[in-house]
Amino acid sequence: MLISTLMFGLVLGGTYALVALGLSMQYGISRIMNLAHGEFMIAAAFCAYVLFDFAGLSPLVTLLIAPLIGFGLSWLIYTVMMHPLVKRAANRGQLEADSILATFGLLFILQGIMLVVFGSDFTSYSYLNIPIDIFGVTIAVSRVVAFGLSLFLGLVLYVLITRSRWGATLRAVALSPASAPLVGIQVDKVARQAFAIGGALAASGGVLVSMFVTFSATGGVVFTMKALIVVIMGGVGNLLGALIAGLALGVIETFVTSYFDPGLSLASTYLLFIIVLLWRPQGLFGSVRS
Amino acid sequence: MMLDIRNLSIRYGAHLALDNATLNTRKGETLAILGANGAGKSSLLKAIAGIVPAAPGSSVKLDGEELLGLQPHEIVERGVIAVPEGRGVFGAMSVEENLLLGANPKRARQGELTRKSEVYDLFPRLAERRAQLVQTMSGGEQQMVAMGRALMSRPDLLLLDEPSLGLAPIVIGQMFKTLKRIKDAGLSILMVEQNVSASLKLADRGYLVEAGRIVGTGTASELKSNDAVQRAFLGGPAAPALS
Ligand SMILES: Nc1ncnc2c1ncn2[C@@H]1O[C@H](COP(=O)(O)OP(=O)(O)OP(=O)(O)O)[C@@H](O)[C@H]1O
Ligand SMILES: [Mg+2]
């Protein structure tokens, strides 16, 4: 029971981590708090569902397509909607407030479209729903695959950001946007890239989560909130922190669900959030920004 | 002629920070810009680097090509790099990462490794501290990081804004020795300094700026013995314009 709870929790946490990394890119680098982040995720989940149920396409193929669409769409949204706000904002606080208002609207637009197309029912599909035995725990292959891919994508991103020159330019924009142009970095271009990558990560998370969880058109908000909690728990701008915090959140939620009551899982998430916010506002692992 | 600045004016709202400045540097030359606080020296460097816009009618040409209107990153690609007031280093990153970012411009990729060993050769202290976070370093060390990072961009012209600010005299001495080596390697340097004696020892020529206007120019030795320079930096009455 203990081990199975842990394993189910890690699987869930892996996708949380991935979606949170996306939010972290958008918030930490592009300085946009994207309240519609979860809607991107749900849209990708629906995308995987439609392609699987109606075209027989494996979600693993969708995992190659949906992030590209997520990237392109986010690129477009940044260019059309966010860039004017960025140019207008006199300071960081103003951009945060403006972007929260703007993406709050975006949330309802995307949610409305999905409600019209898919209705408000919970949706799921059955892919690789084959039980296997790992450490004496029976778990569906789809979950193992989803976990492996979340972790893989998260670690690839982490390595790119921390080890490559391209990653260093992203961190430079996150840490000192005023100094970045001194070394020839185009802040604007980097911010757009980071926002688009955030959209791609949300889409990846959506496809992966759809492989083992039921979802609905209105479910995005909860994912956005969880991603936000993970980002703050991990420390703003701390990608490894977000990865670990995402896994931890999945495990805690699963424990509360199986040992106490499923109805308490969201409440426990927020309790955790409040404790972190009061006790360690810089996150469990510290913020990169000091 | 390398950098040719004509009628450069800079406005912040109604305030005219630089008024029709005309100056130039030749290739390989080191130029000192002297002037009191608020004279407009930093504004001049920022306009060259593309960080603040210049007023209409201004012109800043590098080897005959206009720089005004270009984005900061485009100016960096032309070989003009700035070390600003306050240094602008990436404090939360290591020395090594700051240098890696210094070589971010496309022009810098060629011979990057050689250049890095040259920088470490120029600043042995940095070589010892490659992995240290820059925000934990002393002011003098951070200034080395800022200059090393600038050199990584393979510049032709180095813009330095008060590199000696806040440093102990002994550190300033070392820094000017290093600048001498950079100069001898053939780089052009445009330097704003309050440390008049040290900067005039390094510079070939200089300009004196007062309240946004260039009020004098001459070779370093001319300026050293000039009354206006003496008065300006001793806080005497406003100096008459030089010829
Ligand atoms: N962003 C700005 N907005 C408004 N006024 C400014 C701005 N930057 C500079 N100024 C003003 O322009 C004038 C010149 O400033 P600048 O920084 O160029 O002087 P400086 O010669 O570098 O002085 P210091 O020796 O103190 O560094 C000052 O009066 C300053 O107050
Ligand atoms: Mg200044």
pLDDT confidence of residue A287: 62
Question: Is A285 inside a domain boundary?
Answer: no
Range of the domain at A179: 2-279
- Domain-located, residue A12: yes
Please choose from B10, B19, B34, B42 the residue to mutate so as to test ligand 1's pocket, defined by most ligand atoms within 8 A of CB: B42
**Bridge partner list, A134:** A137
Highest mean pLDDT among A122-126, A180-184, A265-269, A272-276: A180-184
What is the domain count for chain A? Answer: 1
pLDDT at position A269: 86
User: Is residue A165, in this structure, part of any structural domain at all?
Assistant: yes
Query: Per-residue pLDDT averaged across B21-42, rounded?
Result: 94
**Separation of CA B87 and ligand 2 centre (Å):** 12
| Average pLDDT of chain A to the nearest whole number | 91
Q: Which tops the pLDDT comparison, A249 or A287? A: A249
Residue A93 is predicted with a pLDDT of 85
For residue A288, what is the nearest residue in chain B, using CA coordinates?
Answer: B92
A16 within some domain: yes
Q: B136 in contact with A at a CB cutoff of 8 Å?
A: no
pLDDT band (50, 70, 90) for residue B236: very low
Residue B232, pLDDT score = 66
DSSP for A165-223? Answer: HHHHHHHHHHH-TTTGGGGT--HHHHHHHHHHHHHHHHHHHHHHHHTTS-B-TTTHHHH
Counting ligands in written order, the one closest to the CA of B43 is 1
Contact yes or no for A289 and B51 at CB 8 A: no
What's the CA gap between B175 and B34, in Å, rounded?
A: 18
Residue A237 has pLDDT above 80, yes or no: no
In whole angstroms, give the CA distance from residue B83 to residue B175: 14
Question: In this predicted model, what pLDDT tens digit does every residue of B55-102 receive, in sequence order?
Answer: 999 999 999 999 999 999 999 999 999 999 989 999 999 999 999 999
**Contact at CB, A185 and B91, closer than 8 angstroms:** no
Q: Cα separation of B29 and B12, whole Å?
A: 30
Q: Are A135 and A7 in contact (CB under 8 A)?
A: yes
Indicate the range of B175-179, B221-225, B238-242 predicted with least confidence.
B238-242
Q: In chain B, which residue's Cα lies nearest the Cα of A289? A: B92
- A128-187 pLDDT, tens digit each: 888 888 888 888 899 999 999 999 999 999 999 999 999 999 999 998 889 999 999 999
Measure the CA–CA gap between A158 and A156, rounded to whole angstroms. Answer: 5
- Return d(Cα A249, Cα A231) in angstroms, integer: 11
B225 residue type, one letter: S
A174 inside domain = yes
Tell me which residue has its CA closest to atom 2 in ligand 1. B12
How confident is the model at residue B107, as a pLDDT? Answer: 95
Q: Which residues of chain B neighbour A181 with C-beta distances below 8 Å?
A: 51, 71-73, 76
Q: How far apart are CA B152 and CA B137, in angstroms?
A: 20
- Report CB contact under 8 Å: B101, A181: no
* ipTM of model over 0.90: no
Mean pLDDT value of segment B165-176: 92
Contacts of B94 (CB under 8 A, 6+ apart): B130, B131, B132, B133, B134
Q: What pLDDT is attached to residue B217?
A: 92
What is the C-alpha separation between B105 and B76, in angstroms, rounded?
Answer: 7
- Please check the confidence at residue B243 and state whether its pLDDT lies above 70: no
CA atoms within 13 A on the CB side of A189: 9
pLDDT average, residue stretch A74-87? 93
> Does residue B29 have a pLDDT over 50?
yes
Backbone angles phi and psi of A44, in degrees to 5: -65, -35
Q: Residue B241's pLDDT is what?
A: 54
Residue B82, chain A, CB below 8 Å: the answer is yes
User: For testing the chain A interface, which of B85, B100, B101 should be mutated: the one with the most A CBs within 10 Å?
Assistant: B101
The pLDDT of residue B223:
87
- Is residue B199 classed as helix, strand or coil in its secondary structure? helix
- Could you say which of A168, A288, A290 has the minimum Cβ distance to residue B101? A168
- pLDDT digits 0-9 by tens, B131-156: 999 999 999 999 999 999 999 999 99
CATH number for A247: 1.10.3470
- pTM for this predicted structure: 0.89
Residue A35 confidence (pLDDT) above 90:
yes
Q: Are B169 and B133 in contact (CB under 8 A)?
A: no
* Chain A residues within 8 A of B92 when measuring between CB atoms: 171, 175-176, 288-290
A254 within domain boundaries: yes
Task: Count Cα atoms within 13 angstroms, Cβ side, for B94.
Answer: 11
Instruction: Kindly state the average pLDDT of the residues B107-118.
Output: 94
Q: Which among A165, A171, A185 is the nearest to B73, CB-wise?
A: A185
> Is A103 contained in some domain?
yes
Radius of gyration of chain B (CA): 17
Q: Given pLDDT bands bounded at 50, 70 and 90, which one contains residue A235? A: confident
In this structure, is residue A286 part of a structural domain? Answer: no
Question: Is residue B180 over pLDDT 70?
Answer: yes
Mutate to test the pocket of ligand 1, among B43, B48, B210 (most ligand atoms within 8 A of CB): B43
Which residues fall within 8 angstroms of residue A71, CB to CB, at 6 or more apart?
A196, A197, A199, A200, A203
Position with higher pLDDT, A69 vs A7? A69
Residue list, ligand 1 pocket, CB within 6 Å: B 12, 15, 17, 35, 37-43, 85
pLDDT by residue (tens digit) across A189-229?
A: 999 999 999 999 999 999 999 999 999 999 999 999 999 99
